[in-house]
């Protein structure tokens, strides 16, 4: 009986089987597939004279020991090898070929196991390949996603860093710096009075015009500027708590704000207090408006400071007037003490021109005035007489006598030193009493004339008039004493 095996599962078949008892495969299909498979395994080639040896069959026991699947294939291969052996035997007993040499065709049957070793089961290999491809694709997508996400994150981070750097650069360039001025203002405490209004004019680093008033404290703080160049000046006076107004002398300083807030100032401000009586109402009002606009904490505080400044000014003016009156009185008293004198019968005043240049001697009811520089020279004397005017000679100055009551008269008498010394000089007198120095002649003449006539002019006048003095000259020499002393004589 011919033994067959199922080409699908390798199970043994009988001639009567229509289906494989192991896998249920139809026998006809198996035969057709086996025939087709066998025909596919036969390859045409040019055989050699010696046929190839029959491959050693694989026993069923060996196939089963290997694995169920391999045993099935092995059974099929064994059957295939047997069929090939029969064909080879038939060829060996065939008649000899003709004389025409032609290479016989030898059918070589490939073992089924060799073919099946290169072919995976139809249900396994495609599934494995698709799964591998799917995993590979997923991994590639994940990797690409991670790379893309990382790149996106980096680009976002880089953009944020660049934006932050740009913002920082912009902020640094446009940063506003607090600057500090050097201001000296004795007597001003801005925590109690008003702040100092400082006018700032100039341009910032972008060329923008700046025109603003800042209110600065005593320590110089209160101004905030961007980088640029500026001119600073005092816009108005601050007001101290006690009403003091200051003078800034219209000083302007130049300032530069550089990078990192460097502040260079060409100069400083010195505010000096103005004397209260010299402050004008307009200055007080200007300072009040500046305090109202921002120098003071409130408009009410500004008004309080204005009122303090007004009171301070008015008090100073009143005090100045009182001081002036007191000074005038003091001067008058001092003058009276130095130029006013009294005897037992009368009082009199010496001219202010003689103050500190003469000494006065009182002898009961007579008074004698001497040169302080030349004490032995009498400038004037006032004597009391009973009979009116006394005539003592041509070299005397004798204004009209003054009635002091009781039938008595006060008579002013003075030696005319200019005439006396000039005549002695012209006559070349040898008398000891007629010798005078030029300085002595000048001093005596100056005192008696109140500085109106000089000794040299008298000497020249006498030289040209042959010793006879002109009446006008004599009048000038006596006018000062005659016009000043007699009118001050009062009866006691």
Instruction: List, as one string, the DSSP characters of 226-284.
Output: -SEEEEEEE-S--B-TT--BEE-TT-EEEEEE-GGG-EEEE--EEEEEPPGGG--HHHH
Classify the C-alpha dihedral 293-295-297-302 as positive or negative.
negative
Other beta carbons less than 10 A from residue 390's beta carbon: 14
In the predicted structure, residue 73 carries a pLDDT above the cut 50: no
In the predicted structure, residue 45 carries a pLDDT above the cut 60: no
In the predicted structure, residue 54 carries a pLDDT above the cut 80: no
Place of tokens 């219209």: 250
Which of 307 and 55 is assigned the larger pLDDT?
307
In the predicted structure, residue 18 carries a pLDDT above the cut 90: no
**How buried is residue 96: exposed, middle or buried, by Cβ count under 10 Å (0-12/13-18/19+)?**
exposed
pLDDT tier for residue 46 given thresholds of 50, 70 and 90: very low
In the predicted structure, residue 412 carries a pLDDT above the cut 70: yes
**71-74: long-range contacts, CB 8 A cutoff, minimum separation 24:** 71/10, 72/5, 72/6, 72/9, 72/10, 72/11, 73/10, 73/112, 73/113, 73/116, 74/10, 74/112, 74/113
CA distance 105 to 250: 131
Percent of the chain scored above 70 by pLDDT?
77
In the predicted structure, residue 104 carries a pLDDT above the cut 80: no
- Which whole number is the average pLDDT over 409-435? 91
- Which whole number is the average pLDDT over 314-319? 96
Q: Which residues contact 237 (CB under 8 A, 6 or more apart)?
A: 245, 246, 247, 248, 271, 274, 283, 286, 287, 290
In the predicted structure, residue 110 carries a pLDDT above the cut 70: no
Lowest mean pLDDT among 44-48, 249-253, 460-464, 487-491: 44-48
The angle that helices 417-426 and 471-484 make with each other, rounded to 10 degrees, is: 150
Structure tokens belonging to residue 89? 């035997």
pLDDT tier for residue 446 given thresholds of 50, 70 and 90: very high
**452-457: long-range contacts, CB 8 A cutoff, minimum separation 24:** 452/476, 452/479, 452/480, 453/418, 453/477, 455/418, 455/421, 455/422
Question: Which pLDDT does position 127 carry in this prediction?
Answer: 53
pLDDT tier for residue 389 given thresholds of 50, 70 and 90: low
In the predicted structure, residue 348 carries a pLDDT above the cut 70: yes
Question: Which pLDDT does position 38 carry in this prediction?
Answer: 46
42-43/108-109 β-pairing: antiparallel
CA distance 196 to 232: 12
Q: pLDDT, tens digit, for every residue of 149-188?
A: 888 888 888 888 888 888 887 777 788 899 888 889 999 9
CA distance 349 to 158: 105
* CA distances to 130, 141, 421, 424, 466 from 463, in Å: 158, 142, 13, 12, 6
Question: Which pLDDT does position 78 carry in this prediction?
Answer: 46
Of 202, 211, 219, 198, which is closest to residue 294 (Cα–Cα)? 198
The answer to whether 253 and 269 are in contact (CB under 8 A) is: yes
In the predicted structure, residue 418 carries a pLDDT above the cut 90: yes
CA distance 111 to 393: 191
- Which whole number is the average pLDDT over 60-71? 38
269-273/183-185 β-pairing: parallel
Question: Which pLDDT does position 14 carry in this prediction?
Answer: 79
Coil, strand or helix at 58: coil
In the predicted structure, residue 128 carries a pLDDT above the cut 80: no
β partners of residue 20: none
In the predicted structure, residue 93 carries a pLDDT above the cut 50: no
What are the residue boundaries of the structural domains of the chain, listed by start? 4-117, 128-173, 181-316, 346-491
Lowest mean pLDDT among 95-99, 217-221, 369-373: 95-99
408-415/402-405 β-pairing: antiparallel
Of 87, 60, 88, which is closest to residue 74 (Cα–Cα)? 60
CA distance 179 to 265: 10
CA distance 123 to 107: 32
Q: What is the mean pLDDT of the chain?
A: 80
Place of tokens 């921002």: 294
Of 258, 254, 371, 243, which is closest to residue 302 (Cα–Cα)? 243
- Which whole number is the average pLDDT over 10-32? 74
The answer to whether 246 and 263 are in contact (CB under 8 A) is: no
């Amino acid at each position: 009986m011919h033994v067959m095996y199922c080409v699908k599962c390798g199970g043994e078949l009988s001639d009567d089987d229509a289906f494989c008892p192991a896998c249920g495969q139809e026998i006809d299909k198996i035969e057709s597939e086996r025939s087709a498979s066998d025909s596919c395994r036969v390859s045409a080639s040019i055989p050699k004279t010696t046929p190839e040896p029959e491959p050693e069959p694989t026993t069923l026991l060996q196939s089963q020991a290997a694995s169920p699947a391999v045993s099935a294939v092995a059974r099929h291969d064994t059957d295939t090898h047997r069929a090939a052996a029969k064909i080879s035997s038939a060829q060996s007993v065939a008649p000899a070929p003709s004389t025409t040499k032609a290479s016989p065709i030898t059918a070589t049957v490939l073992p089924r196991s060799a073919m099946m070793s290169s072919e995976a089961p139809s249900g396994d290999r495609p599934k494995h390949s698709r799964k591998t491809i799917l995993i590979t694709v997923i991994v590639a997508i994940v990797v690409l996603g991670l790379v893309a996400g990382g790149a996106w994150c980096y680009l976002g981070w880089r953009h944020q860093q660049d934006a932050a750097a740009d913002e920082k650069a912009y902020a640094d360039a446009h940063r506003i710096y607090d600057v500090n001025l050097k201001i000296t203002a004795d007597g001003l405490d801005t925590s109690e009075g008003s702040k100092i209004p400082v006018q700032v004019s100039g341009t910032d680093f972008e060329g923008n015009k700046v025109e603003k008033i800042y209110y600065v404290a005593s320590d110089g703080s209160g101004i905030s500027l961007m980088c640029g160049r500026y001119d600073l000046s005092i816009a108005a006076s601050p007001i101290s708590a006690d009403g003091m107004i200051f003078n800034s002398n219209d000083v302007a300083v130049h300032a530069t704000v550089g990078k990192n807030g460097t502040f260079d100032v060409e100069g400083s401000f010195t505010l000096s207090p103005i004397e209260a009586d010299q402050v004008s109402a307009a200055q007080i009002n200007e300072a009040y408006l500046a305090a109202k606009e921002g120098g003071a904490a409130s408009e009410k505080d500004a008004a309080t400071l204005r009122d303090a400044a007004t009171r301070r000014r008015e008090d100073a003016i009143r005090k100045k007037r009182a001081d002036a009156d007191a000074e005038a009185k003091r001067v008058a008293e001092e003058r009276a003490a130095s130029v006013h004198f009294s005897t037992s019968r009368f009082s009199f005043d010496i001219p202010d021109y003689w103050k500190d240049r003469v000494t006065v001697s009182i002898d009961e009811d007579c008074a004698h005035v001497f040169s302080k520089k030349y004490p032995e020279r009498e400038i004037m004397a006032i004597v009391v007489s009973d009979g009116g005017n006394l005539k003592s000679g041509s070299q005397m100055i004798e204004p009209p006598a003054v009635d002091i009551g009781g039938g008595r008269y006060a008579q002013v008498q003075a030696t005319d030193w200019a005439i006396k010394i000039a005549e002695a000089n012209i006559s070349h007198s040898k008398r000891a009493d007629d010798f005078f120095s030029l300085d002595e002649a000048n001093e005596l003449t100056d005192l008696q004339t109140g500085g109106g006539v000089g000794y040299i002019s008298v000497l020249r006048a006498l030289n040209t008039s042959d010793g006879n003095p002109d009446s006008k000259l004599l009048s000038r020499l006596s006018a000062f004493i005659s016009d000043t002393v007699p009118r001050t004589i009062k009866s006691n």
